[in-house]
């Protein structure tokens, strides 16, 4: 073994001097990517306003339609639809945001430029994940603060619920971002990406029990909805904002935290495996 290694080094000749130069680590480059993406994101005022106004607008709409308590309980409605807004907001930033950004990165040759750099591809993906985690977190904080201040949302009362909030948000956003990477890897450009993203996003909102009880759907739609991550994200967020007595209204009669983690993780791993195979760094025929 050591002889082979020696010959390898000798063969390199003048490359030997360069062996001493350390290439930046994949993790350091991912952080650097996230930094530069966030800096650009926060400088695009329209995108910032749209992303961060989303939960506020939804709150205004739902808050003015559904006043009072959930029927037959003393739990305010706001506890219920806050979970749905948190889930769809997370999905919007993760899925839609990432898919459109990646498709745009490809059509304007950002991806091609990055491919020509000494950067491991995973740094690009991790950088995207990190940057949407930050912007998603800002959006979630805005939702919580605005809802608590103006719509009487009761924030989670125990450390356990805060911890649930953190992992549901992180895993949910990670799942959506990975799906966004997979889809953005296939779409032609930013415009076609937003067109491709919208139908699944809309359909999923209907069959995942975002703003009304999952139990009201027929068994077929429920079965389909339960395959996709949004249903589990909503259920997870409900377990943060609603009292445990509401578990009985879930399809399984329980919050199913363990199953939620497993399903979201499966989507992340499966999505990454698909993305790594199908991801295209250049448009077809791009010279």
Partner 1 sequence: MAGDAAIRVSGLIKRYGDSVAVDGLDLEVWRGETFALLGPNGAGKTTTTEILEGYRKRDGGRVSVLGQDPQTADRRWRSRIGIVMQEPNDVYELTVAEIVRHFAGYFPRPRAVGEVIELVGLAGKERKRTSALSGGQRRRLDVALGIVGNPQVLFLDEPTTGFDPEARRQFWELIRSLRTAGTTILLTTHYLEEAEQLADRAAVISGGRIVALDEPRRLGGRDLASSTVGWSDPRDGACTAQSDTPTKLIAELAARYGGEVPGLTVTRPSLEDVYLQLIGQER
- CB closer to partner 1 out of 108 and 244: 108
- CB closer to partner 1 out of 119 and 217: 119
Q: How far is the CB of 103 from partner 1 (least distance, A)?
A: 13
- CB closer to partner 1 out of 112 and 257: 112
- CB closer to partner 1 out of 3 and 22: 22
Q: How far is the CB of 51 from partner 1 (least distance, A)?
A: 15
Question: Which of 179, 182, 136, 169 is closest to 261 using CA atoms?
Answer: 169
Q: Which of 116, 160, 223, 243 binds partner 1 (CB under 8 A)?
A: 116
Q: Is 166 in the site for partner 1 (CB under 8 A)?
A: no
Q: How far is the CB of 6 from partner 1 (least distance, A)?
A: 18
| 224-228: long-range pairs with CB below 8 Å, 24+ | 226/251, 228/204
Measured distance CA(44)–CA(105) in Å, rounded: 15
Q: Which of 40, 152, 160, 266 binds partner 1 (CB under 8 A)?
A: 40
Yes or no: say if 68 and 79 are a contact pair by the CB < 8 Å rule.
no
- CB closer to partner 1 out of 44 and 278: 44
Q: Cα 36 from chain centroid?
A: 19
Q: Is 227 in the site for partner 1 (CB under 8 A)?
A: no
Measured distance CA(125)–CA(10) in Å, rounded: 36
Q: Which of 1, 43, 157, 245 binds partner 1 (CB under 8 A)?
A: 43
User: Which residues, 6+ apart, have CB-to-CB distance to 212 below 8 Å?
Assistant: none
Q: Is 191 in the site for partner 1 (CB under 8 A)?
A: no
Residues for the chain: how many in total?
Answer: 287
Q: Is 32 in the site for partner 1 (CB under 8 A)?
A: yes
Residue 19 burial (C-beta neighbours within 10 Å; 0-12, 13-18, 19+): exposed
Count of alpha carbons within 13 angstroms of residue 86, beta-carbon side:
33
Residues of the shown chain interacting with partner 1 in the complex, contacts defined by CB under 8 A: 13, 15, 18, 21-24, 29, 32, 36, 39-40, 43-44, 105, 108-110, 112-113, 115-120, 282, 287
């Amino acid at each position: 073994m050591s002889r082979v290694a020696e010959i390898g080094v000798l063969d390199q000749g003048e490359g030997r001097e360069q062996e001493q130069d350390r290439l930046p680590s994949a993790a350091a480059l991912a952080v650097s990517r996230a930094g530069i993406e966030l800096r650009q994101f926060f400088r695009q005022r329209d995108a910032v306003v749209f992303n961060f106004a989303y939960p506020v607008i939804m709150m205004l709409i739902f808050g003015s339609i559904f006043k009072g308590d959930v029927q037959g309980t003393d739990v305010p409605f706001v506890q219920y639809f806050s979970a749905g807004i948190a889930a769809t907001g997370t999905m919007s930033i993760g899925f839609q945001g990432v898919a459109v950004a990646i498709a745009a990165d490809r059509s304007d040759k950002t991806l091609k430029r990055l491919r020509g750099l000494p950067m491991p591809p995973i740094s690009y993906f991790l950088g995207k994940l990190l940057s949407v985690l930050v912007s998603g977190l800002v959006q979630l904080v805005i939702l919580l603060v605005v809802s608590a201040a103006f719509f009487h949302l009761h924030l989670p009362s125990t450390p356990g619920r805060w911890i649930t909030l953190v992992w549901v948000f992180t895993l949910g956003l990670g799942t959506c971002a990975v799906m966004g990477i997979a889809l953005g890897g296939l779409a032609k450009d930013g415009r076609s990406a937003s067109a491709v993203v919208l139908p699944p996003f809309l359909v999923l909102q209907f069959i995942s029990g975002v703003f009304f009880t999952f139990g009201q759907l027929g068994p077929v739609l429920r079965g389909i909805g339960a395959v996709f991550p949004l249903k589990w994200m909503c259920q997870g967020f409900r377990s943060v904002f609603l009292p445990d007595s509401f578990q009985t209204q879930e399809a399984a009669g329980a919050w199913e935290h363990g199953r939620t983690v497993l399903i979201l993780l499966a989507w992340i791993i499966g999505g990454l495996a698909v993305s790594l195979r199908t991801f295209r760094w250049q448009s077809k025929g791009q010279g």
